[in-house]
Amino acid sequence: MRATNPTPSQRPVGTWELEDFFRSLRACVTELERAWERDCLADVLEANATREDWHPPIVAAYRRLRRRRLGPIDYRTRAIEALIAQARRELFETPHRFEARVVDFARPTRAPKAEPRGVLEAREHGPSHAPVTAIAVTSPRGEVLLRMDQVISVRFWGIAFVFDDPEVSDRVTTAVAHETVNQLAYGLVGLEKVQTRLHGRVLEGELQVIPPPEGQSFEQLLLDVLNEHYPCARRAPLYEDFFEKTDLRLHVRGLRRRRGARAQITRITDPEQHAAKLDQIHNLDEFVILSPPSLAQALTHPDENGIDRDDLAQLWQLFPTQPATENELARALRDLLVGALEQPTSGPRGPLAAVPEQVRRAIQAYAAAEAFRATRRLRTRLSGRDAAS
Q: How far is CA 141 from the centre of its chain?
A: 27
Residue 8's pLDDT is 52
> Rounded to an integer, what distance in angstroms lies between the CA atom of residue 314 and that of residue 160?
33
- Mean pLDDT throughout 17-31? 95
Residue 125's pLDDT is 39
Q: Is the pLDDT of residue 126 over 50?
A: no
DSSP H helices, 156-209, are 166-198
DSSP state of 347: S
* pLDDT category of residue 328 using cuts at 50, 70 and 90: very high
* pLDDT category of residue 294 using cuts at 50, 70 and 90: very high
Residue 133's pLDDT is 67
Residue 297's pLDDT is 93
> Rounded to an integer, what distance in angstroms lies between the CA atom of residue 338 and that of residue 264?
18
DSSP SS3 for 361: helix
| pLDDT one-digit tens code per residue, 43-86 | 999 988 888 888 999 999 999 999 888 888 899 999 999 999 99
Question: Which of 124 and 138 is assigned the larger pLDDT?
Answer: 138
Q: Which of 167, 186, 166, 189 is nearest to 178 (CA)?
A: 186
Q: Which residues contact 130 (CB under 8 A, 6 or more apart)?
A: 108, 112
Q: Is the pLDDT of residue 104 over 70?
A: no
Question: What is the DSSP code string of 366-387?
Answer: HHHHHHHHHHHHHHHHHHHHHH
Residue 212's pLDDT is 85
| pLDDT one-digit tens code per residue, 215-247 | 899 999 999 999 999 999 999 999 999 999 999
> Rounded to an integer, what distance in angstroms lies between the CA atom of residue 300 and that of residue 328?
12
Q: Which residue ranges make up each domain of the chain?
A: 15-197, 216-388
Q: Percent of the chain, pLDDT > 70?
A: 88
* pLDDT category of residue 304 using cuts at 50, 70 and 90: confident
**Triad 290, 309, 364: Cα angle to 5°:** 30
The CB density around residue 321, as the number of other CB atoms within 10 Å, is: 7
CA atoms within 13 A on the CB side of 204: 0
Whether the full predicted model's pTM is greater than 0.85, yes or no, is yes
Residue 121's pLDDT is 38
Q: Is the pLDDT of residue 264 over 50?
A: yes
> Rounded to an integer, what distance in angstroms lies between the CA atom of residue 246 and that of residue 235?
9
For 209-269, give the secondary structure using H, E and C. CCCCHHHHHHHHHHHHHHCCCCCCEEECCHHHHHHCCCCEEECCCCCCCCCCEEEEECCCC
> Rounded to an integer, what distance in angstroms lies between the CA atom of residue 148 and that of residue 348?
13
